[in-house]
Amino acid sequence: MDIDGSSAVVTGAASGIGRASALALARAGARVVVADLAARRGAQVVDEIGTAGGIAVFRHCDVTRTEDLAGAFACALEHFGRFDIAFNNAGIAGEDLFEDTAGDWQRVVDVNLTAVIDATRIAVREMRRLGGGVVVNTASMGGILPIPDSPVYAATKAGVVNFTRSLAYLAPAHRVRVNAVCPSYTDTPLVRRRGDEDLADIKQRMGGILQPEDVAAGVLELVQDDSRAGAIMRVTVRGGRDYARDVRP
């Protein structure tokens, strides 16, 4: 897909990978709906895009609410007259499952997996009506490899991976491509909350840490490469960008 002149909705766009991807899409010529719970930071991203010569609007969005997701996609049509790209990026980290007494693990499932399914469902339905589009879902290397200290997070991301693979048929049938990006540890507020000691350990074990812009470059590749459908892109410090399974329509 040619990004120039397109319209994109990015969830979790107020920080981290979402912010970097919204900026990258705008630089490539997309008009962007910055969808997030964080209004102040989301407005800052809109301002950054505008300062760089791009076009963006903020939309408050709780991805666990179907009406918020539908509203974000409708916002693209309302402001830009079209809807071409959905980057379902919003996600949260998991805590120690066996120390969880408040049921926080359920919210990890709700945000990381259920919301991705719901957003994809809404986006694809609209894209089929409009004649095509591209959906990119944020998974994780934790969706391919086990994470013993965060098994629910790993399970949600594994669900995103196989959900995405299962939708490869949409490309030839409906001109809608659904792909996923699986980054390793990335320097985002989510990861920084682990603390300096954990961050140093991650960098030592992984040979460094990704920057959000590294992942954003992968997102753009998945949008632009019309041969990719059901593709699972890995993004790591050591390996760069490659594919866990090369699925083409």
Nearest-Å Rg of the Cα atoms of the chain is 17
The SS3 assignment for 28 reads: coil
Mean pLDDT, all residues of the chain: 94
Share of the chain above pLDDT 70, in %: 98
Q: For the residues 34-43, what does the mean pLDDT come to?
A: 98
pLDDT at 249: 52
pLDDT at 39: 98
C-alpha span between 17 and 69 (Å, rounded): 19
On whether the CB atoms of residues 223 and 135 are closer than 8 A, the answer is no
Is 202 a residue whose pLDDT tops 90? Answer: no
Is 140 a residue whose pLDDT tops 70? Answer: yes
Sequence length of the chain is 249
Catalytic residue among 153, 169, 185, 243: 153
Is 119 a residue whose pLDDT tops 90? Answer: yes
On whether the CB atoms of residues 156 and 115 are closer than 8 A, the answer is no
Q: For the residues 71-93, what does the mean pLDDT come to?
A: 97
On whether the CB atoms of residues 223 and 53 are closer than 8 A, the answer is no
Task: Indicate the residue type of 96.
Answer: D
Task: Indicate the residue type of 216.
Answer: A
On whether the CB atoms of residues 120 and 11 are closer than 8 A, the answer is no
12-16, 35-39, 201-205: least confident range: 201-205
Q: Which range has highest mean pLDDT (97-101, 144-148, 195-199, 204-208)? A: 144-148
Q: Which pair of structure tokens corresponds to residue 20? A: 């970097």
Q: What is the DSSP letter of 142?
A: G
Q: Which pair of structure tokens corresponds to residue 97? A: 């499952």
pTM: 0.94
Residue 237 confidence class, pLDDT cut points 50, 70, 90: very high
Is 107 a residue whose pLDDT tops 90? Answer: yes
Q: What is the DSSP letter of 114?
A: I
On whether the CB atoms of residues 204 and 237 are closer than 8 A, the answer is no
pLDDT at 207: 84
Residue 206 confidence class, pLDDT cut points 50, 70, 90: confident
pLDDT at 44: 98
Cα-flanking dihedrals φ and ψ of residue 35, to 5°?
Answer: -105, 120
- For 83-93, the pLDDT digits (tens) are 999 999 999 99
pLDDT at 23: 98
Annotated catalytic residue 153: yes
DSSP characters over 34-92: EEES-HHHHHHHHHHHHHTT--EEEEE--TT-HHHHHHHHHHHHHHHS---EEEE----
Is 241 a residue whose pLDDT tops 90? Answer: yes
Q: Which pair of structure tokens corresponds to residue 139? A: 């998974």
**What count of other Cβ atoms lies within 10 Å of the Cβ of residue 148?**
6
C-alpha span between 56 and 30 (Å, rounded): 9
Judge: domain 7-245, CATH 3.40.190.10. Answer: no
pLDDT at 248: 54
The SS3 assignment for 167 reads: coil
Q: For the residues 196-212, what does the mean pLDDT come to?
A: 83
Q: For the residues 10-30, what does the mean pLDDT come to?
A: 98
Residue 200 confidence class, pLDDT cut points 50, 70, 90: confident
